[in-house]
Homo-oligomer: A and B are copies of this chain.
Amino acid sequence: MTTTRGRIDKRQAILEGAFTVFAREGYAQSCVQDIAREAGVAKPTVYNHMTDKATLFRHAIEAAAQAVLDERVAALEPLAAPGDDLSVTLEEVAGALLRLHTDGRSCALRRLLYSEVTHFPDILDIVRESGPDRLTKALADRLARLALAGRVHTTDPDLAAEQFLGLLLGPLEARTQMGTRSLDDSDLRELARAATRTFVRAWAEQPAR
């Protein structure tokens, strides 16, 4: 078999260890030695799987981004069949998104993207389709369905989705000190409630529009 290499695929361990260390130290400050140690592997083994520190970085980011995004999109699920009161479902989804967004891995990933976007312009392409873009699209899809059902009043679900996320996540950055402080669950629920209320007032309560 091609994939049943030697031991229980070290590759996975390397990618995870790499992300952990990169997240903790930043790209330039991480040394491959530490990554190897973190992954429970010898340094040359790392170079057996990845040619470069740079490609190691790319692959680690890609894997992490994929994982983070899947959770996010899954959290939108309740919107497929909302209850009688749309606000309740929206608020539930909002809370779930906030919890995911403030998660340690998520914050670390965001920090890494921001800091290395200029040195690795290609990670944007890697992450784009699996990044906030796809989340906005997925939310826009849900909102479009709801608009058809007359429960949201908009002709531009993409805009509505962008604004919902802005309303929800914008206030976060300030409160979490750029993702370094963590909020307790009641704060998150409060933020979810405030964002949902404003969104509903602007997009679901109005008569026509």
Does any Cβ of B come within 8 Å of A88's Cβ?
no
Q: How far is the CB of A107 from the nearest CB of chain B, in Å?
A: 10
A174 to B162, CA, bound (A): 9
Contact A201 B195, beta carbon cutoff 8 Å: no
Number of interface residues of A (CB under 8 A): 45
- A–B complex contacts, Cβ < 8 Å, 14 sampled: A26-B119, A28-B29, A111-B118, A115-B116, A132-B173, A133-B174, A162-B174, A163-B171, A165-B170, A166-B171, A166-B195, A167-B170, A198-B203, A201-B209
14 more contacts with CB within 8 A, not counting A159-B171, A159-B194, A163-B170, are: A26-B116, A27-B28, A28-B28, A111-B115, A114-B114, A118-B180, A132-B173, A163-B198, A165-B170, A166-B168, A167-B167, A169-B170, A199-B202, A201-B201
